[in-house]
Structure 1
Amino acid sequence: MAYVIGIDLGTGSVKALLVDKKGQTIIEKAKEYPLIHKQSGYSEQDPHEWVQKTADVLRELVQDFKGNVSEIEGISFSGQMHGLVLLNEKQEVLRDAILWNDTRTSEQCRQIYELAGKATLLEITKNPALEGFTLPKLLWVQQHEPDLFKKASVFLLPKDYLRYRMTGKINSEYSDAAGTLLLDVANKQWSEEICRLTGIDKNLCPPLVESHAFVGELTESFAKETGLSAKTKVFAGGADNACGALGSSILSEGKTLCSVGTSGVILAYEKSGDRDFGGKVHYFNHASENAYYTMGVTLSAGHSLTWFRDTFANGETMDSLLEGLDNVPAGSNGLLFTPYLSGERTPHPDSNIRGSFIGMDASHTRIDFTRAVVEGITFSLNESIEIFRHNGQEIKEIISIGGGAKNDIWLQIQADIFNAAIIKLKSEQGPANGAAMLAAYGCGWFTSWEECAEVFVSYKEVYEPIPENVERYRQLFEAYKKIYSQTKDISERLMDYRQK
């Protein structure tokens, strides 16, 4: 039997799946690592933690594996997007990585518009200048840590640094590079014009390959540390959302994905890179070559629910927190929540806005608040769906993965708020499954992505919208959409009072 490994380098943990030729997950391992919050708005991680925890999960996986390690033919990756890892000429890490959810770069985003122009930026990179992207981070380090920046010889994205440490080879690939604001998305090359206009040396950009490209084998030292064979083939991998789409069979027009992790994503397949959304949603290269996807993002999706549990139900499991969710009617007895704990991305690119509960009274209990959080996350995601529909996308079926797919009541809430059939997968491994598919395809197990998806992806259950709930939520959604504009000024006024 032959096997591949899919590694998902997430924001809070790394997960590794051992998958066989039938698409069955044989072993799953995961390890957590910490975030570093030096002050309000900062979010960093030590890249060495990624490497060590990945080595740990692979070593445990090999220890539990009953076969011969030579049967593990390939490894590929899914990774958190946008994070900045700077290396010097000796390929040593110069500073902690600045992550996708770091919001310190508002000034640099303004500078990018001044230097490059919004129209030029959207034409080339297909995306607006937002704090989470990589280019603003490069400019921030250049301006605030100039001596360190002068030592930089290349930048890497998180999973690309991990892959470098496993193979000794430096590369990036198109789906992750699309989230830097430095890639010419349609032409699949680093943009000389954007580099020139923003003052970034193009030589800092790593070589580009396809997501399924073979980039090397494991180094002897990494193989020895983990117990894997040094002959194991390593493939480039993809951005987490691209891999989530791949691992959910979002491979043709009309396919839509809802993914709830730390952040939340609504993602739709695009066959070309020439549609114009005016920067309202993200436009990235797919992990499937010569394909694209558009995407709306809720910054604090699963994070909002985790925050609520840790703050008001400390020590309880998520299942315990959500118990009784179906006993609360749609609309949470007149309570609304906006999930702006870390600012927002779509449709409000605003790093200063903060969340709120609206409509509280003495009759509300914890389960009302819990359902309001779940509904608020889903309302936020529905704003992206609304943009897609207004731009001609027909959305009737949505595959749901991540935290939102683990609870049947939440899946029904998605169906009712989105007014679409929600599909639950039999084996929901998200981006890690997409990473395993990249390794399988790279190893030559399949001749097309569709053939690969038939083996690796299967549906379990469909949740149809309930008409009376659809109408109720339609009215509530109109009220929800007013909260941003009516709390924006208040959030701005409270900025000086937040913990630094």
Structure 2
Amino acid sequence: MLIAFDIGTSATKATLHDDDGTIRAASSASYPTAYLVGARVEQNPDDWYRAVVSTSQQLLAKTATPPAAIKGLCVSGQMMGLVCLDRSGTPIRPAPIWSDQRAAAQAADLTEALGDEHSYEVTGHRLAATYTLPKLMWVRDHEPENFSKISRICVSKDYVNYRLTGEVATDHSDASSTGAYDIKNKTWSNEVLAAAGISNDILPPIHSSIDTLGALRTDAAAELGLQPGIPVIVGGGDGPIASIGAGCTASDDPPYLSLGTSAWVAATTHDVLSDPQRRGFTFAAITPDHYCPCATTQNAGSTLEWIARLVGSDTPTLISEALSLTDPDPDLIMVPYLLGERSPWWDADARGATIGLTPRHTRADITRAALLGISFTLALCLEAVAPEDTSPRSLDAVGGGAQSDGWLQLLADIVQLPINRRNVTTNATSLGAGITGLVGLGQLSFSDARSASRITATFEPQTRQYRDELQRFTEVYRTVKKIDDLPRFGKELARS
């Protein structure tokens, strides 16, 4: 058996896997996120490790699994963050996570130095504020004392792996989410780092996701309740590793939707995504010699959870109410970008807006407008990953939001494709991490991933009514963007 850990945005989940990848049991532990002025979003890296310790202990206790039965560990984690370590391996400051947008100016400077098209060609990404490298440049520019202490940087799963093994390293999937990686040559880009003014000495070495990083340290084993010396497999970033759990491991597998705190559309290919509009981006895949083209929205479950907090309800109840409306108002439109936006707009300064409110609107109407805004954004993401001339015949769906029949039907109607719910709605990343670990241990191959989960429901398109609404949504976003770009004292204060 193997234990996989998924370092998520709001919690860490540990899953116990049989040798065929089946998830036998799961446990989770949450941690706080600090939302600060200036679009800054931070977590404490040590909270991630404490959650790993807690969930390992919970998992062993609830299943009465003897420590000797655990033959290895594998970690996946949220991507694009920044952990700054000093010479002793101690975090120097809290970690800006993926949704942190403070480094917009640094991303713009780097893009200007390299050129829009060339930087996209080298890295496979637009160099936006979400990525690790601009965040590191921000620390250099605004916290020079902290920057001078940096011996090594890494991301969430790498820090946990360091605590487990004493080795600081990353894998190709996470490296490809930093903005400092040469996507075609699969190595750190000296050209990009030179333009950023960052030495590659502080970047970690890059391994295959299925390599053994090291043996579980004695002190970590005592904390987790495991035997020392078992192998820790390198693992990968949560987006590409979710592709494994969703059964999307080869170029002939259908793309998939993941509906969580953020949401994305992804596929597995042999080639880097070619998108002249640069709406999507490309990760190195977990499977060797493959790529993971992707387009992602910052704002999915996070926007729905914000509405739920405002009205004192919960997200599943609100979704049910919204999709039960008998006479919804097509003129109520929400731009759901509370945290800035990545695909397809790449607008770190984007903000949310609701247009067309009247006294008759209820919380259900507002939630429906949010669902439509999120779903329209995902439709635009699909156009980036799978252009019309290469459109897939169906999409798979995973993530917590995929538990909603109504939301999947809405998405099927908008994208005009059948959508298949897989039975790993809340466990795709965990299953992917488990399979990756078992491949690393020699127990499985990646070809086993497709059969490790199954389709439980299919939602066929039933209406074509949303094409005009999608067009209006894009027009409203552009109008809101013009308004939001007007000079405002508050905006300038937030950036200072």
Q: 1:461 aligns with which of 428, 452, 457?
A: 457
TM-score by length of 1: 0.94
CA RMSD of aligned residues (A): 1.8
Aligned residue in 2 for 1:90: 88
Cα displacement (A) at 1:283: 1.0
Q: Does 1:149 align with 2:147?
A: yes
Cα displacement (A) at 1:120: 2.9
Kept in 2: contact 1:353–1:492 (CA 8 A): no
The percent identity for this pair of structures is 30
Kept in 2: contact 1:277–1:391 (CA 8 A): no
Aligned residue in 1 for 2:263: 264
1:68/1:38 CA distance change after superposition, 3 Å:
same
> In terms of mean alpha carbon deviation, does 457-466 or 18-27 score higher?
18-27
Aligned residue in 2 for 1:298: 297
Kept in 2: contact 1:70–1:232 (CA 8 A): no
Matches within 5 A, 1:89-488: 89-254=87-252, 255-273=254-272, 275-312=274-311, 314=312, 316-329=313-326, 332-390=329-387, 392-428=389-425, 429-446=427-444, 448-454=445-451, 456-466=452-462, 469=463, 471-488=464-481
Cα displacement (A) at 1:363: 2.7
Measure, in 2, the Cα distance between the counterparts of 1:333 and 1:126.
37
Q: 2:31 aligns with which of 25, 30, 33?
A: 33
Measure, in 2, the Cα distance between the counterparts of 1:432 and 1:324.
30
1:101/1:427 CA distance change after superposition, 3 Å:
closer
The one-letter amino acid of 2:176's match is A
1:28/1:494 CA distance change after superposition, 3 Å:
farther
Kept in 2: contact 1:41–1:102 (CA 8 A): yes
The one-letter amino acid of 1:497's match is G
1:278/1:391 CA distance change after superposition, 3 Å:
farther
Cα displacement (A) at 1:197: 2.3
Measure, in 1, the Cα distance between the counterparts of 2:240 and 2:162.
20
Cα displacement (A) at 1:332: 4.5
Q: 2:7 aligns with which of 2, 6, 9?
A: 9
Gaps of 5+ in 1: none
Secondary structure of 1:179's aligned partner:
coil
TM-score by length of 2: 0.95
Kept in 1: contact 2:255–2:265 (CA 8 A): yes
Cα displacement (A) at 1:145: 1.1
Gaps of 5+ in 2: none
1:64/1:186 CA distance change after superposition, 3 Å:
same
1:244/1:329 CA distance change after superposition, 3 Å:
farther
Measure, in 2, the Cα distance between the counterparts of 1:359 and 1:370.
14
Cα displacement (A) at 1:224: 0.7
Measure, in 1, the Cα distance between the counterparts of 2:10 and 2:471.
34
Kept in 2: contact 1:333–1:368 (CA 8 A): no
How many residues end up aligned between the 2 structures? 491
